[in-house]
Amino acid sequence: TVPIIETRHLKKVFTVTSGLFSGDRHIHAVDDVSIAIREQEVFALVGESGCGKTTLGRVLLRLEEKSGGTVRFRGNDIHDLSESDLRGLRKTMQIIFQDPYASLNPRLRVRSILAEPLVAHGYGNRAQIDARVGELLRLVGLRDDVRRYYPHQFSGGQRQRIGIARALAMNPEFVVCDEAVSALDVSIQAQILNLLKDLQDRLKLTYLFITHDLSVVRHIADRVCVMFLGKTVELGATDDIFKHPRHPYTRFLISAVPVADPHRRNRERMILQGDIPSPMNLPAGCRFHTRCPYAQAICRREDPPLAASAGRWVACHFPLPAEAIHATGQTT
Ligand code: SF4
């Protein structure tokens, strides 16, 4: 299948000016990332905070300019578009944020919040806009009369439903969900994830799910890309990766996901030693080597390439053998 959106060797570097004598420093937030998101899939980007996943999402939507490489949406380089073409593209690509309260204008009623993108894109006259606002509220499971209320009059889950309705106003094809359920209680999280899944089926949406929470990924994603300090370290089908993580960092993240049986968790929990490298001062070789229990001499010298094997991409000199992952390494 042709990807809906694709990056090739994408880079984003931030320059930090750090005083008169030390000179500028560079943060390689996204460092040579190539991914291809397929039509109508849920593609998850995971990793700890600072791994570059949010920056990657923002560069994909051109909310941030790239430093190198390409981003193609349906074959068109989005960093090459004119302002008017970009405006057209904005309708088809949307973002849902973590904190709906911060992203909804507190002084506007729901009707105005939902009407704003419709007016900006010249959707139609007042009656048509009112009808569309009603449709959007129904779509996200809210009553029609809530259009009269202000954001503070809603619960966190309801506010996120309004955020989703606003993102869907112009019928997008591709939606970035940036930690979209992270601020919600677990029971509300499940409701919003089910709503997003249902909307995906009904509206034929493609999602990029950015999250640090692997239980969310397991619930919703078809494929996962694990990032560490700006690089992809593992990419593959969700079920496959959860059953058999092959990169030590993926294994660490999965081992930290709470499970119902506390004995199982204790047995499989992976503990990392060593320092987390500074993104401004990356170690030579594999970026994970200061924390990796499997590191050997070559890991300190050579950066492992992202290599394909059996439908999986892994960047590690010594990928974990699928059948032995629970028997090796440092566990408690
Ligand atoms: Fe660990 Fe070496 Fe693999 Fe890096 S390349 S993850 S240090 S084993």
Q: How much is the pLDDT for 98? A: 84
Highest-confidence segment of 81-90, 101-110, 243-252 = 243-252
Tokens of 297: 């001499």
5 pairs with which residues across the strands?
37, 73
The DSSP bridge pattern shows strands 24-33 and 76-77 to be unpaired
User: Is residue 65 scored above 90 in pLDDT?
Assistant: yes
User: Is residue 332 scored above 60 in pLDDT?
Assistant: no
Q: How much is the pLDDT for 246? A: 95
* Cα 26 to ligand 1 centre (Å): 24
Q: Tell me, what's the ipTM?
A: 0.99
User: Is residue 17 scored above 90 in pLDDT?
Assistant: no
Which ligand 1 atom is at minimum distance from the Cα of 319?
A: 3
The more confident residue out of 50 and 37 is: 37
The more confident residue out of 327 and 242 is: 242
Q: How much is the pLDDT for 138? A: 98
Percent of the chain with pLDDT over 90: 73
pLDDT band at 90 (very low <50, low <70, confident <90, very high): confident
Domains by residue range for the chain, with CATH: 3-243 (3.40.50.300), 246-332 (no CATH)
Lowest mean pLDDT among 36-40, 132-136, 166-170, 181-185: 181-185
Q: How much is the pLDDT for 325? A: 44
Q: How much is the pLDDT for 262? A: 57
Average pLDDT of the residues of the chain: 90
Which ligand 1 atom is at minimum distance from the Cα of 233?
A: 6
Which ligand 1 atom is at minimum distance from the Cα of 286?
A: 4
Q: How much is the pLDDT for 12? A: 96
User: Is residue 248 scored above 90 in pLDDT?
Assistant: yes
pTM over cut 0.90: yes
* Cα 318 to ligand 1 centre (Å): 6
The more confident residue out of 270 and 55 is: 55
Which ligand 1 atom is at minimum distance from the Cα of 287?
A: 4
Q: Which protein residues are within 6 Å of ligand 1, measured from CB? A: 248, 286, 288-289, 292, 294-295, 299, 304, 316-318
Q: What are phi and psi of 206, to 5 degrees?
A: -115, 130
* Cα 271 to ligand 1 centre (Å): 15
Lowest mean pLDDT among 13-27, 89-103, 198-212, 226-240: 13-27
CA 110 distance to own-chain centroid: 27
Which string of b and e fits 174-210 if b means at least 16 CB within 10 Å? bbbbbbbbebbeeebbebbbebbeebbeeeebbbbbb
pLDDT in tens, 176-208: 999 999 889 999 999 999 999 999 999 999 999
Q: How much is the pLDDT for 323? A: 60
pLDDT in tens, 154-163: 999 999 999 9
Protein residue closest via CA to atom 6 of ligand 1: 316
For ligand 1, pick from 286, 309, 328 the residue to mutate: most ligand atoms within 8 Å of CB: 286
pLDDT in tens, 280-317: 888 899 999 999 999 999 999 999 999 997 779 999 99
Which ligand 1 atom is at minimum distance from the Cα of 317?
A: 5
* Cα 316 to ligand 1 centre (Å): 5
Protein residue closest via CA to atom 3 of ligand 1: 316
Percent of the chain with pLDDT over 70: 92
* Cα 195 to ligand 1 centre (Å): 39
